[in-house]
Amino acid sequence: MRIVVDYKEQESGFDQLKIESAKYLSDYAIRIKFSDGDDKLVDFKPFLSKSLHPSIKKYLDEEMFSNFDLTNGNLNWNDYDLIFPVFDLYTGKI
């Protein structure tokens, strides 16, 4: 048996989605504006708090977490030390 998936049929428009702007508010929450005009408030605190990995836990330092860049339509911390897929940020499932 051979399974064939045509990914072109499954394209949803998210492949072109980018972050236009992002603003750190407080308590690990970032307001993100996407290229489709949608605006989301993403709470990163649960993700950071639950992580057991030291390279992620270090971002519980609020000063370190709030120091991100917008690079090629993505949120980027410390030269790709921490980055999230745009689709996950858009859906709030990080």
pLDDT per residue rounded down to tens, the chain (94 residues) = 565 555 454 445 556 899 999 999 999 999 999 999 999 999 999 999 999 999 999 999 999 999 999 998 999 999 999 999 999 999 988 8
For the whole model, what pTM was predicted? 0.82
Number of domains in the chain: 1
pLDDT tens digits along 28-50:
999 999 999 999 999 999 999 99
Alpha-helical segments (H) within 30-85: 45-50, 54-57, 62-65
In a domain, 7, yes or no: no
As to burial, measured by CB atoms within 10 angstroms (0-12 exposed, 13-18 middle, 19+ buried), residue 47 is middle
At which residue do the structure tokens 């989605």 appear?
17
**DSSP-derived 3-state class of residue 86:** helix
Domain of residue 63 covers 19-91
CATH number of the structural domain spanning residue 36: 3.30.2020.10
